[in-house]
Amino acid sequence: MDVLLAILSLFGLYGLVTLGIAVIFAATRVVNLAQGDLMMVGAYTAAVAAGPAFGWRVVLALVVSAPLLLLIERLLLRRPLADGLATMLVTWGVGMALRQAAELLFTSTSRTVEPPMAGAVTVLTTPYPAYRLACGLIAVAVIGLVLLVAYRTGWGLTLRAIADNATMAALLGTDPRRVRTLAFVLGGLLAVLAGALYSPVLAVNPTMGFSLLVPVFFGLLFSRPGALATAAGAALLIAALSVLLRAWMSDVLAEVLFYLIVIGVAALRSRPWIWRFSSWLSRLLLPARAS
Amino acid sequence: MAQPPSPPRTGILTVATLLALTGCGGSAISGGQDGQSGSLKIGVIVPLTGPVSATGTALRRGFELGVKKVNDNGGVNGKKVEYVVVDDAGNPATSTQLARKLIQQDQVSMIFGTITGDTAEAVARVADDAKVPFGTAILGDTERCYTYQWGFGETTRQMLTPAVPELLRKYGTKVAIVGSDYNYPHFYAGVAKELVKQAGGSILAEEYSPLGQADWQPVITRMKDAEPDVVLSMVVGADAVTFSQQAKQFGLLTPELGFEGAPLDTDYYPALSALVNGRTHTVRWTDGLDDAESRKFVADYRAAHDFKDPIPEVAGNAYFGVQFLLDAARKAAAFEGPAINTEIGRLTFDSPLGKGTRFESTNHRLQADMLEVTIKPGGAYEVSKKLGPIPDTTPKTGCA
């Protein structure tokens, strides 16, 4: 049970940030290198807004970050969007600027946030920190909600259409620029939410989001553009792999094995015969339907 | 039809602007005092940006106040002391380049600073090659000893020799060790294991985790299963905060558990105050010392920087350490590296760090007093026991 709860908690964190980066990638075909730093913005907002209750601080983080994200997208990303590399470099610069701003404002000394729920709850005979469980569950609920929007609403359909073929979607009357703006704001807000929610279990400092980029990138790498459920699934697999390896062996050995496995899987996926095999398999499992 | 944008040019321009704004154009260099012919110049290499910049800033402040005190008292042999501060951002490659630049271009007679072990080692190699004395102020041990490197921070043995028997007496003999996975925590654990065995205790768990760990649950679960009486932690940086916080949430870190190590340092107090209040910690210097020199330094430090948190120990070590080095320079015939280095090795110096402090020739570590402090609410690191001089004469490769 310990292991399952650990997977839930880590999946909540990885899942929110990965899903956010996948939403942005779906609409813009750009890897947002500032995603970890947006998470840091959420954590700092929860840490420094000491007055209101914790829940309100999380809301405040989202409210404060939304116009910031809109501004970044409108001022910095819209024009160079036609060049993916330039846009990715801009997001790298944005992340760096956010880290430096946090260091200037709050110094590099870590801060902590008191969890809104103290103590432990017992889950099937296993005592577990109450807030850790709560934030894992909230994160998973939000991930579910985003997937629901992506697969059951018109906006989700538009996003998936743009991810599939932006030119065709535009010819059919969709405004890709509007969808891209919305996707960037939504994707960024998911990272901000992850930072604010998980601030009581992490050390809040300017570089806190940077170290999270590696598992998040692997999550994005293992997902299909536009298929957000695959991004959430990849985040779940990465969280489970990390927790299981660390439960069975020392952290140092687990990390080496973790990277060997994920890099091995990434290398295998790029082989053409794997693509052919997975394509045949999907046709066998999900035969084409007339719609 | 709207004019199409010129994406590559716009992107490159934006990135260039951002990089310029974020200070990526190279390491910032700032001069200290006004230049003066024939003066003694020191190069200060510290991380003023990056993850350990808070500790680097504290070292710089302590160093600057130490130099100011010497200059206010007439300087060294009638010459004012100058210094040049450079930012290595905690990156050993940058530290090497900056050390070379300070020696070759700025013609410094001494180097002071660095925070992390790898940057100290990088500078020590350059200092040895150029025969320029190099002083560090951070606690802990580097891998090997260098002829021109001198460490003012306490060694692992000086920290743990008094602390381990006391912890085992107060809390029990079952010990767990946890650390970040790099050279120093492994070295720390080696010394700890030896001292725990000598004190009649046993090591039940030993855990290391790569730096940048966000989730400590597996480590904490294994440590909890071992049911230790004492946890010795050399988890450092932001990880020290994450580990301690999660250890409390999982019920490992309780008031009944003995806890000693890096998370009790003043650097982490603002983040971990509730977890460390009431605990004892072994240090070389604290802002709670009541001698006149320490009190003046503390008052000057707080006034100069409007600083309210506990003053990091590294600032005190730097303040008294640079005075030690400058006293050696005063005794040297000329402001030249080899002459000053010889005097550093010979000098005995009185300061709040101890009477007759001196460097051990076989390891170049300062033989000085140690203190047991009790951490009080509000961040007062009050001296609860003066432990006197704690020798560490363990020979190190390079000097022995």
pLDDT at B42 over 90: yes
Instruction: Name the B residues in 7-46 with CB < 8 Å from any A CB.
Output: 7-8, 10-12, 14-15, 17-19, 21-24
Average pLDDT of span B331-356: 91
What per-residue confidence (pLDDT) applies to B7?
Answer: 39
Note whether A170 contacts B: Cβ–Cβ < 8 A.
no
- The residue of chain B nearest to residue A206, with distances taken between CA atoms, is B51
Span A235-272, pLDDT tens digits: 999 999 999 999 999 999 999 999 999 999 888 877 77
Cβ pairs A/B, distance under 8 A: 144
Does residue B37 have a pLDDT over 70? Answer: no
Comparing CB atoms, the residue among B5, B214, B238 nearest residue A110 is B238
Strand partners, B234: B179
- Report the pLDDT value the prediction gives residue A288, as an integer from 0 to 100: 57
Report pLDDT for A50.
77
For residue A90, the distance in angstroms to the closest alpha carbon of chain B comes to: 5
In tens, the pLDDT along A164-175 reads: 777 777 777 777
Identity at B244, one-letter amino acid code: S
**What pLDDT sits at residue A227?**
83
More confidently predicted of B140 and A34: A34
A60-77 residue pLDDT tens: 999 999 999 999 888 888
> What pLDDT was estimated at residue B322?
96
Helix (H) / strand (E) element for B149: namely: strand B149-151
Strand partners, B354: B351
Banded pLDDT at B387 (limits 50, 70, 90): very high
Among A84, A6, A33, A39, residue whose Cα is nearest residue A220 = A33
Q: Residue B38: its pLDDT value, please?
A: 63
Contact B21 A97 (CB under 8 A): yes
Calpha distance A53→A60 (Å, rounded): 11
Q: Is the CB of B209 less than 8 angstroms away from the CB of A252? A: yes
Q: Which residues of B touch A111 (CB under 8 A)?
A: 270-271
Average pLDDT over residues B289-311: 93
Q: Do A86 and B213 touch (CB under 8 A)?
A: no
Question: Which candidate in B59, B178, B215 is best for mutational testing of the A interface (most A CBs within 10 A)?
Answer: B215
Q: Please tell me if residue A97 touches chain B, with a CB cutoff of 8 Å.
A: yes
Each residue's pLDDT expressed in tens, for chain A with a length of 291 residues? 788 999 999 999 999 999 999 999 988 888 899 999 999 999 999 999 878 899 999 999 999 999 999 998 888 887 655 677 788 888 999 999 999 999 889 888 889 998 998 888 888 888 899 999 999 999 999 999 999 998 888 888 887 777 777 777 777 777 778 888 888 999 999 999 999 999 999 999 998 988 788 889 989 888 888 788 999 999 999 999 999 999 999 999 999 999 999 999 888 877 777 767 766 776 666 665 554
pLDDT at A169: 74
- Considering only the beta carbons, identify the residue of B14, B17, B238 that sits closest to A205: B238
| Distance of residue B273 Cα from the nearest chain A Cα, in angstroms | 10
Q: Are residues B219 and A251, on separate chains, in Cβ contact within 8 Å?
A: yes
B317 pLDDT above the threshold of 50: yes
Contact between B394 and B360 under an 8 Å Cβ cutoff? The reply is no
CB contact under 8 A, A243 and B209: no
* Contact assignment for B18 to A87 by CB distance below 8 Å: no
Helix (H, G, I), strand (E, B) or coil at A84: helix
- The pLDDT value given to residue A289: 56
Q: Quick check: A116 and A53 in contact, CB under 8 A?
A: yes
What pLDDT, on a 0 to 100 scale, did the predictor assign at position B329?
Answer: 93
Chain A positions in Cβ-Cβ contact with residue B214 (cut-off 8 Å):
13, 202, 211-212
Structure-token match 């999982």, residue found: B250
Structure tokens at B72: 């206010």
Cβ-contact A75, A202 below 8 angstroms: no
pLDDT of residue A159: 79
pLDDT tens track for B45-71: 999 987 788 889 999 999 999 999 999
At B364 the pLDDT is: 93
CB < 8 Å to A103, chain B: 49, 53
Average pLDDT of the residues in B159-172: 94
Instruction: Phi first, then psi: give them for residue B379, nearest 5 degrees.
Output: 90, 20
Chain A residues 208-237 within an 8 A CB cutoff of chain B: 208, 211-212
3-state secondary structure of B79: strand
DSSP track, B321-354: HHHHHHHHHHHSSSS-HHHHHHHHHH--EEETTE
Reduced to 3 states (helix: H, G, I; strand: E, B; else coil), residue A31 is coil
Q: First CA to last CA across chain B, in angstroms?
A: 79
Considering only CB atoms, B54 lies closest to which of A10, A79, A109, namely: A109
Chain A CB contacts of B24 under 8 Å are: 96
Sequence-ordered list of residues with C-beta below 8 angstroms from that of A170, at least 6 positions apart, any chain:
A176
pLDDT on residue A226: 76
Asked if the C-beta of B235 comes within 8 angstroms of chain A's C-beta atoms, the answer is no
